[in-house]
Structure 1
Amino acid sequence: ILNAGKGWFDAGDYGKYVVNAGISVWTLMNLYERNPSQLRELPIPESGNNIPDILNEVRWELDFMMGMQVPEGHDQAGMVHHKLHEHTWSPLPYTPAERVTDRFAYTPSTAATLNLAAAAAQMSRLIAPFDAAYAETCLIAAERAWKAAKENPEFKYGNIPGDGGGNYDDFYLEDEYYWAACELFVTTGKAEYEKSLIKSLDDDKIIGASKAPNGPMYWGGVATLGHLSMTLNAKKVDKATRQKISSLILSGAERYRKQITDEGYLVPMFEYEWGSTSSVLNKLILMAYAYDATGNRAYLDGLTMSMDYLLGRNALCKSFITGYGENPMFYPHHRYWVDEEDAGYPPPPPGVISGGPNEGASDEATAFMVVKNARSKRYADDVRSYSTNEVTINWNSPLVWVSAYLDEVYNPDSGVKRVGKSPVSAIRIAVAAIALVILSGLAAVFFRRKNKNK
């Protein structure tokens, strides 16, 4: 029934999750929608087909997401299966066999369904100038998903018995409804979606999302994705709605700017939570929007200092990005990138970011640190450390966004058109060089797909 063979493996294992795919593809598409001159040419199989390569790559993942949608004629038609993985955790290291008999699609969820509605609607409008047929396919899938989410009983994921993959549990879904309504409204202009998004903007959690202390967005908190998509298409809504969304973004960016001054290592950190590096990167996206809107150099300086933190100016003198910095990460928690080439396992390519310090570190390599180490030092560059050194698509995607943004702002030779109110007056060559080399590495990581990725 399902054709879910495409798509990216999610993290250090071989699972695929629609709710983590959603924010990952949104981040890359948002980068393109904000500035269509970004990442148009990449070393991927489809390059040269007259479609911007960043959209080509997102299409690979979106095809997986659409492949998880229940076909017409079946129970729960239009709903989307939450995830796809094995029933037990695969060993480490491990190369997946070229078969699917030991991998299973799990029960459809409302969250996954709304993730597809949002992401497919977003892709529909972006790819329409290049591939009208695929744009129509995406829009049909998006509207089917919205309709199914509205008509079927809500199914919220909690703890699913067994292992082999993460739960990605989520009990608050108003943000998914809001995000999906935003993307569908921008793409279609239909009053149904506009009415829904405006209603959601009265919800306290939607209002507070963009200044949450640990970051404005993550896979289970997607309201800010809607805010930012609406910002790029502000003329489609009334003045009051535009102003409300703008104020939410700017107030969040200001909170994160102030967090930098409160943290000893000059980074917008509140708690060193699981995936703390991605929390930083997602805050930087909001600060980039604030810099574009206001020209306030403090926001841009915050981006620069925070990238310094990720590259090694931190309590560990450790770069959390493979291949960059004086002391880069080498041994991510990953079943394939384990650097045992005699056994057929390569080292990680440059440009992979790990989760970073986790004050609740809980694996065999780091659990002892909770009582011995300062929270900023609870990290191990160790393949066993899934709680501090795993890698995931939703952490690498904001690294792409922020690196591309810094390259755009600082590097006059990037070939990328500058978007925003105030270009910088003095070019910092060191920052431009860092952004450029990270983007080069990311081309080998995020956009490294091979035809055998099944």
Structure 2
Amino acid sequence: TLNLAAAAAQGARLFSPYHKAYAERLLVAATRAYHAAEAHPALYAPATDGSFGGGDYQDDDVSDEFYWAAVELYLSTGDAAWLAKAKASPHWSGPVFQPDGFSWRAVAALARLDLAAVPSALSPQDLEQVRASVVDAAEAYLGVQTTEGFGLLYDPPGGYGWGSNQSLIQNMIVVASAYDITGETRYLQAVRESMDYILGRNALGISYVTGYGETFAHNQYSWMFAASLDPSYPPVPKGALAGGPNSGLADSYAIDTLEGCAPQTCYVDDPRSFSTNEIAINWNAPLAWIASFLADTE
């Protein structure tokens, strides 16, 4: 419900110049959704057995979703009441950027990045605080990059996580945002170097984006693009991002094939390895963001 509120509020802002009626409809839906969540704050997404097709997405801490939704509603309306709700959140000044990136379960970073980038009536002091937190996070990621042989902005303490490629790209988005804020080219160069990892400069010498590079992932796990298992299905399309190395091997094929692997080599381009080779819309979304950023800064 709160994800709808946040996404619809952002959509209202973005569609407003092109389709006023649709933008207004989105804003009404966003406001209604937020108030519904306020009325039922403990109605959480349930844990399931995965039999409904999308796996388990339980989350019983929605403080970050409330924060994100309030921020998007403020940025789209300019209404100080929404800003007050955002400021009442523990995430307003708390840490929101993690070594393993942000994700569907941790969305406070989305709010912070938009507060830093979208023009608003924030006070100079508030804007400075928000932007400083983005730059500080970018500096931390650059510190990680200096320790990495392949020059990527990612090395979480617990090893490479599920969907490590999208986690890396989320970190790249933070650093790209620092470039937008400061104009310092070292942030841009850091992002470019991390993109090299995604496109093949890595321990396995494979591009994780289907159709790009001499050797690229093309046998990803998917219920739609499954030609490698059944030719009657379509193949994985060009531009699909593979999940990437996952130190916590979580499928039988990966366990049998990759046991004892070094973190960056815990990947296999096989449709049976969903824990290393899955594709997902919320992974391709940050890829689209960072590809657009890099195209704009050529």
**Counterparts of 1:424-443 in structure 2 under 5 Å?**
none
User: 1:156, CA displacement in angstroms?
Assistant: 2.1
Deviations along 1:224-255, one digit per CA (max 9) or x if unpaired, are: 11112212234411122111111111111111
Q: Does the Cα contact within 8 Å between 2:49 and 2:55 map onto a contact in 1? A: no
The reply to whether residue 261 of structure 1 matches residue 146 of structure 2 is yes
Q: Select the residue among 67, 71, 77 that pairs with 1:182.
A: 71
Equivalence for 1:214: 100
Asked if the contact 2:70/2:86 (under 8 Å) is kept, the reply is yes
Aligned-partner Cα distance in 1 for 2:25–2:70: 18
Contact 1:175 1:206 in 2 (8 A): no
The answer to whether the 8 A contact 1:379-1:388 is kept is: yes
Per-residue deviation, 1:368: 3.3
Paired residues in the alignment total 294
> What is the distance in 2 between the residues matched to 1:341 and 1:378?
22
Distance 1:209 1:147, change over 3 A: same
Deviation digits for residues 22-58 of structure 1, max 9, x if unmatched?
A: xxxxxxxxxxxxxxxxxxxxxxxxxxxxxxxxxxxxx
Flag the 1:359–1:342 CA change in 2: closer, same or farther, 3 A. closer
Matches of residues 27-176 of structure 1 in structure 2 within 5 Å?
113-161=1-49, 163-164=51-52, 165-176=54-65
Task: Indicate the residue corresponding to 2:160 in structure 1.
Answer: 272
The correspondence for 2:289, drawn from 394, 401, 419, is 401
* CA distance in 1 between partners of 2:247 and 2:230 (Å): 36
Which secondary structure state, in structure 2, belongs to the residue aligned with residue 208 of structure 1?
coil
Residue in 1 aligned with 2:88?
A: 199
Would the alpha carbon gap of residues 196 and 258 (structure 1) be closer, same or farther in structure 2, given more than 3 Å must change? same
Task: Work out the CA distance in 2 between the residues paired with 1:323 and 1:283.
Answer: 24
When residues 143 and 279 of structure 1 are mapped into structure 2, their CA distance, relative to the original with a 3 A threshold, is same
Matched residue, 2:256: 368
Q: TM-score, normalised by structure 2?
A: 0.93
* Mapped partners of 1:206, 1:344: distance in 2: 52
For 1:340 and 1:385, how far apart are their aligned partners in 2?
13
Report the alpha carbon displacement of residue 372 of structure 1 after superposing the two structures with TM: 2.2
> SS of the residue aligned with 1:236?
coil
The alpha-carbon deviation at position 181 of structure 1 amounts to 0.6
- Which of 207, 216, 236 is equivalent to 1:348? 236
User: How far apart are the structure 2 equivalents of 1:160 and 1:245?
Assistant: 37
For 2:231 and 2:270, the matched residues in 1 are separated by: 19
Q: Residue 228 of structure 1 aligns to a residue in which SS? A: helix
The structural deviation recorded for 1:343 is 4.1
Cα shift at 1:384: 0.5
**5+ residue gaps, structure 2:** none
Q: 1:304 aligns with which of 192, 196, 204?
A: 192
1:397–1:153 Cα change, 3 Å: closer
Deviations 1:89-145 (A, max 9, x none): xxxxxxxxxxxxxxxxxxxxxxxx111111111111221122111111101101100
Q: Which amino acid aligns with 1:297?
A: T
**Matched-pair contact (CA < 8 Å) for 2:67–2:92:** no
Identity over the aligned pairs, expressed in percent?
39
Gaps of 5+ in 1: 1-112, 411-454
Distance in 2 separating the partners of 1:126 and 1:296: 27
Q: Distance in 2 between matches of 1:205 and 1:350?
A: 39
Higher relative contact order (CA 8 A, sep 6+): 1
2:219 equivalent to 1:334: no
